[in-house]
């Protein structure tokens, strides 16, 4: 069994208690992880606060912060393969995806490294002749970053990158389901030369999460996870009125019109729902398809879904691996059962193989005659696609917006005018037209409604880790008159 350590104030330790991490490909424990106690959480926050107010970090220039982030980006790139193998081991995310994704994570740190000294204040043309007024952008303070187990190096980079670029310090809590990649990332971070306490990495479940988000010294909580946990976090952070950014789940529509390039759309839908074994917040999990091409499209989709290579996550040939946890698999099976009972028709998949590991096959449910089936409204977070059909563009838009989520969406059409109408009408934080799942450090990412609020990625994300201070300076040498002279 491998052993991992938490990272607090620039020091590594095994934590007061430990727990096993499970290899999803076998269902067996493979490593011991430190479970942060409430006292550990407090130590981590104190270390971050100390670093924020009373370390070299507090007086560092923005350009110097940028240089440290740049070195971090280089080290992430150098260690990308090792981190990828570790994430694959701990989460079951397939190696071809972790390899590509973690190499790209370095680019997110590089982007925020470049932004550090471009976060500017402003000078105001104030309406008083003897005053100079300007705005300073100052870092928010200590940030609590909480991430789930999927894509965790990516999801933490879009928090740590802008937070450190802005001058904040961070306590990162990794998911208790698979924390190894972030605990290893802490070792890489430690080599960069940041002052101790600038980043602290701990793990643990709801108890550690609650202690962190309700801590009186936390200025902002940046969270990725499910809506139910988000509600706890908002309630806990209300104690100090800390600000929050919430990146939650989705039930994103993937809309295909009859004039679409069908082969392209099928391929995008296959990766849109089955990549990351469906454990992706932006998964295109509702196929909204024109009745004119539905049969043809579904036939091709079924053929491709059934040809997907299911296998060990560490095999480069594997296209769909296991789900991360047994709970995820049980949830997907229960939701399929409830949906078929409500009238959804199983097109392919739906049953899990015997043997070890939490494997789950690509699954398609046709709900065209069962619009109330729960699979159309609830998130699977697994490789399950729900299909619903339409006759008119207005119907397609109404179906797309018939959700409490609002994270991502895809539109496939050759009509430029229709694409523009759909872009305007869709209520989601991202619209992909004739493509799906594209991400970049330069583009903001986030949703509405049950998908949360706030944006990650892009310039605005760095500004969101700052607060504005308005400075008034009187330029007149005349003495200030006695205000009560009239009395």
Tell me whether residue 93 or residue 110 sits nearer to ligand NAD (CB atom): 93
Between residues 65 and 251, which has the closer beta carbon with respect to ligand NAD?
251
Looking only at the bridges linking them, the beta strands covering 432-433 and 410-412 are parallel
**Candidate list 146, 260, 365, 461; residue touching ligand NAD; CB under 6 A:** 146
148: contact with ligand NAD by CB under 6 A? yes
Nearer to ligand NAD, 19 or 134 (CB): 19
Active site residue 375: no
Question: Can you tell me which of 104, 381, 432, 436 binds ligand NAD, judged by CB under 6 A?
Answer: 381
x/- letters, 201..240, toward ligand NAD (CB under 6 A): ----xx--xx--x----------xxx--x--xx-------
Q: How far is the CB of 451 from ligand NAD (least distance, A)?
A: 6
Under the binding rule (CB under 6 A), the answer on residue 425 touching ligand NAD is no
In the complex, the smallest distance separating the C-beta of residue 5 from ligand NAD, rounded to whole angstroms, is: 18
Stretch that binds ligand NAD, among 23-31, 51-59, 245-253, 300-308 (CB under 6 A): 245-253
177 is catalytic: no
Among 57, 104, 108, 149, binds ligand NAD (CB under 6 A): 149
Assess 60 for contact with ligand NAD (CB under 6 A): no
Of the residues 168, 184, 281, 375, only one is catalytic, namely 281
Site size toward ligand NAD (CB under 6 A) is 27
**Which one of 247, 319, 379, 456 is the catalytic residue?**
247
281 binds ligand NAD (CB under 6 A): yes
* Interface map 175-204 toward ligand NAD (x if CB under 6 A): xx----------------------------
CB 30, min distance to ligand NAD, A: 19
76 Cβ contact list (under 8 Å, min separation 6): 83, 102, 105, 106, 109, 153, 157, 185, 188
50 or 150, CB closer to ligand NAD?
150
Q: Which single residue brings its beta carbon nearest to ligand NAD?
A: 209
Binding flags for ligand NAD, 17-46, as an x/- string (CB under 6 A): ------------------------------
Nearer to ligand NAD among residue 144 and residue 396 (C-beta): 144
What residues act catalytically? 247, 281
User: Residues in the site for ligand NAD, rule: CB under 6 A?
Assistant: 146-150, 155, 173, 175-176, 205-206, 209-210, 213, 224-226, 229, 232-233, 247-249, 281, 379, 381, 407
């Amino acid at each position: 069994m491998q052993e991992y350590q938490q990272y607090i104030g620039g020091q590594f330790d095994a934590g007061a208690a430990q727990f096993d991490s499970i290899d999803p490909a076998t269902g067996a424990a493979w490593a011991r992880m430190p479970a942060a106690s409430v006292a550990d959480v407090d130590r981590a926050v104190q270390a971050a606060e100390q670093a924020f107010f009373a370390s070299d970090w507090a007086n560092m220039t923005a350009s110097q912060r940028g240089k440290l982030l740049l070195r971090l980006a280089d080290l992430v790139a150098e260690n990308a393969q090792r981190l990828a193998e570790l994430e694959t081991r701990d989460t079951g995310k397939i190696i071809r995806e972790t390899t590509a994704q973690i190499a790209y994570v370095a680019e997110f740190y590089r982007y925020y490294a470049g932004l550090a000294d471009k976060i500017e204040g402003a000078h105001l043309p104030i309406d008083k002749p003897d005053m100079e007024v300007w705005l300073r952008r100052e870092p928010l303070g200590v940030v609590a970053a909480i991430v789930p187990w999927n894509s965790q190096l990516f999801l933490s980079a879009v928090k740590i990158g802008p937070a450190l670029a802005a001058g904040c310090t961070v306590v990162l809590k990794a998911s208790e389901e698979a924390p190894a990649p972030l605990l290893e990332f802490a070792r890489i971070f430690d080599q960069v030369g940041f002052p101790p306490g600038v980043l602290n990495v701990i793990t643990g479940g709801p108890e550690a999460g609650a202690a962190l988000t309700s801590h009186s010294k936390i200025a902002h909580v940046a969270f990725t996870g499910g809506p139910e946990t988000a509600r706890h976090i908002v309630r806990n952070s209300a104690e100090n009125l800390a600000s929050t950014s919430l990146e939650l789940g989705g039930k994103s529509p993937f809309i295909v019109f009859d004039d679409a390039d069908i082969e392209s759309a099928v391929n995008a839908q296959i990766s849109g729902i089955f990549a990351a074994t469906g454990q992706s917040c932006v998964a295109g999990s509702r196929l909204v398809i024109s009745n004119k091409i539905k049969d043809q499209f579904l036939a091709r989709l079924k053929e491709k879904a059934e040809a997907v290579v299911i296998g060990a996550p560490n095999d480069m040939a594997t296209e769909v691996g296991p789900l991360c946890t047994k709970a995820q698999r049980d949830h997907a099976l229960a939701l399929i059962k409830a949906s078929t009972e409500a009238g959804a028709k199983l097109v392919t998949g739906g049953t899990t193989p015997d043997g070890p590991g939490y494997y789950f096959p690509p699954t398609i449910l046709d709900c065209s005659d069962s619009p109330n089936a729960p699979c159309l409204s609830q998130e699977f977070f697994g490789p399950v696609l729900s299909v619903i059909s339409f006759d008119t563009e207005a119907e397609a838009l109404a179906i797309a917006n018939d959700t409490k989520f609002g994270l991502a969406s895809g539109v496939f059409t050759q009509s430029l005018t229709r694409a523009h109408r759909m872009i305007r009408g869709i209520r989601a934080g991202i619209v992909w037209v004739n493509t799906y799942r594209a991400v970049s450090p330069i583009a903001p990412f986030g949703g509405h409604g049950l998908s949360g609020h706030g944006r990650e990625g892009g310039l605005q994300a760095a500004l969101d880790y700052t607060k504005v201070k308005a400075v008034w300076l009187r330029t007149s040498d005349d003495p200030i008159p006695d205000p009560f002279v009239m009395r």
